[in-house]
Amino acid sequence: MRIRWLIAAVALACLTLGIYAQEKGGEEETGPYEVVPNWPQPLHPDFTSGSTIGVWAESPGRILVFQRGELPVSKEPLAAGYIPARGAATAATNPKWEHLFCVYDANGKLIESWEQHNQLFTRPHRIIISPYDPEKHVWLVDDGGHQVFKFTHDGKKIVLHLGEKDKPGNDQNHFNRPTDIAFLPNGDFYVTDGYINTRVVKYSKDGKYLLEWGKPGKGPGEFDLVHGIAIDRQNRIYIADRTNSRIQIFDLNGKFLDQWTNIRSPFYIYASHDNYLWVSDGMTNRFLKYDLNGKLLYSWGTFGAFPGGMWGPHQFSVDSEGNLYIAETFGGRVQKFRPKKGADPAKLIQPRLVLSSN
């Protein structure tokens, strides 16, 4: 009892002397993070990003961004700092179909732009690099054109493409608005397909069709907008069943195992190396941390186009230094967040899970 009293007395003295600074007010809008201002640096004075839907932190000095062209900067006053939603932007509607795929350094300076590939894409959707690929091929999903592309790391060559441009379908050679990809250590991969098709398709590392599952509906193994995918250490596949407001869980061959309901609109799901599943909810504009039994452990975030707010967190990524990057489909931007000094590690999103090859 005496020891407890002494600890309390020391803590009170520290607060009285100002050794510990206690914040007054605040809402923890950005959780354990703070916004890095003016990141990335603007590309044009009169144009700004269109719908920004993909981000991948390859390293702290190489951040890949995928967006739907550029839009004119608004000349009208913006109520409460908000901007017009940009999620519907496509090659046919955006006035400046440029800077679709960009690479930024740690300071947000543009170091690379794949302008030579702009006409390949109709409606960009996701960036993925397999953690098991030593050559770091860049995979880009274009849901509007119904295609998936595999590029060399420098973007000079298309190594593989699946689907047929502007020709939707539901067979082994076509997609109908695909959304995401997840890889196994042997190179096999799964494509979520997607907005119109309600299925998950598995391919070999060479792009050979292997199997698929899913159909429209609300029951187990049925989907309504298959939007994201992640795999855990137990080889369980988590699928963001977005419009059904849930995550469904399967084995590697598509056998239904479980479901987590009452997740308003799961846009992106992410398995971290410390065995948690993180979800960005595009409707509540929050980040959600779950254990692998589906228990909600922590959440943070708020709606807004101001720095630190979010409007449609469509994909997120964490670099090796713990910085968090968020691509906003309606907000039309990527934001960089760094951990606050003294942040609780349990509240930070840890780097992406890499499965063992054994």
pLDDT digits (tens, 9 = 90+) for 82-96: 456 677 677 777 778
Residue 54 maps to a domain: no
Residue 13 maps to a domain: no
Q: What 3-state DSSP class applies to 146?
A: coil
Residue 61 maps to a domain: no
CATH code, 278 = 2.120.10.30
Contact criterion met (CB below 8 Å) for 102 and 110: yes
Among 152, 88, 155, residue whose Cα is nearest residue 124: 88
| For residues 37-64, average pLDDT | 93
Residues listed for the chain: 358
Residue 303, Cα to own-chain centre: how many angstroms? 17
Q: What 3-state DSSP class applies to 256?
A: strand
| For residues 215-238, average pLDDT | 98
- Type and span of the H or E element at 227: strand 226-231
| pLDDT at residue number 138 | 98
Residue 9 maps to a domain: no
User: Is the confidence at residue 120, as pLDDT, over 80?
Assistant: yes
Angle subtended at Cα 332 by Cα 136 and Cα 304, rounded to the nearest 5 degrees: 120
Residue 353 maps to a domain: no
- pLDDT > 70 in the chain, percent: 89
Torsion, Cα 348 351 353 357, to 10 degrees, reads -150
Q: What is the DSSP letter of 79?
A: G
| pLDDT at residue number 272 | 98
Contact criterion met (CB below 8 Å) for 237 and 250: yes
Q: Which tens digits make up the pLDDT trace of 126-172?
A: 999 999 999 999 999 999 999 999 999 999 999 999 999 999 999 99
User: Is the confidence at residue 3, as pLDDT, over 80?
Assistant: no
Angle subtended at Cα 282 by Cα 328 and Cα 118, rounded to the nearest 5 degrees: 35
> Which pTM does this prediction carry?
0.91
115 — phi, psi (to 5°)? Answer: -65, -25
Count CA atoms closer than 13 A to 207's CA, side-chain side. Answer: 12
Range of the domain at 162: 125-347
- Cα-only R_g, the chain: 21
Residue 280 maps to a domain: yes
d(CA 310, CA 331) in angstroms, rounded, equals 7
Contact criterion met (CB below 8 Å) for 127 and 118: no
For the beta carbon of residue 75, count every other beta carbon within 10 angstroms. Answer: 6
- Distance from the first to the final alpha carbon of the chain: 52
Q: Which tens digits make up the pLDDT trace of 327-343?
A: 999 999 999 999 999 99
State how many domains the chain has: 1
Helices (H), the chain: 2-17
Q: Which tens digits make up the pLDDT trace of 301-325?
A: 999 989 999 999 999 999 999 999 9
Residue 108 maps to a domain: no
Q: What 3-state DSSP class applies to 266?
A: strand
What the block records as the tokens of 58 is 């390859």
| For residues 281-291, average pLDDT | 97
Report the relative pairing of strands 215-216 and 222-223 from DSSP bridges. Answer: parallel
8 — phi, psi (to 5°)? Answer: -65, -40
